[in-house]
Every structure is written in structure tokens, then in C-alpha cells.
Amino acid sequence: MLQNTAGKCTQAIKILKPNAQIVIYGYVNNEEDFNNNVKWITGADENNSAILTNINPHAELSWSAVKTEMDKL
């Protein structure tokens, strides 16, 4: 069975930075999807709900680096 691109992106990010916390909404087929559909968890609020941002806090997790790992999967 083929793995969807969100699953591959998650795997690639975990390979590059195992402690990175993300949520992915939709597919990750290109850089635009990566920038818009990957939400980065930066902490928790007073209700213990995840605080999400669109801004990637991990310089080493560029689209290029993640895509290279995705292509290996």
C-alpha cells in the first residue's frame, strides 16, 4: 500500500528531528503545502491544548531537507 504524503512528511520530519512536534492538515506534495499544511506545536495553553504555529521553528527542517527524506521512503 502506498503511503500518503502527509504520512511520508511526518516520517521524514521524525527522521531529521525526532523531537519535533507537528500536526499536518491535508497533503504535503510541494513547498506551498509544507508551508501551509504543517502546523508546528510550540507548547500548550492553560487548558493543555496544543499551541500551533505556521512558522517553522526548526531551521534544519526546510522543505528541501524534508523532501529529500520523503523521496527516500
CA distances from 49 to 10, 15, 44, 73 (A): 20, 25, 5, 31
Q: Which three cell numbers stand for residue 14?
A: 521524525
| Each residue's pLDDT tens digit, 9-68 | 999 999 999 999 999 999 999 999 999 999 999 999 999 999 999 999 999 999 999 999
Residue 73 makes CB contacts below 8 A (sequence gap 6+) with 3, 8, 11, 12
pLDDT band at 4; cut points 50, 70, 90: confident
Domain range list for the chain: 5-59
Residue 2 has pLDDT above 90, yes or no: no
CA distance 33 to 30: 5
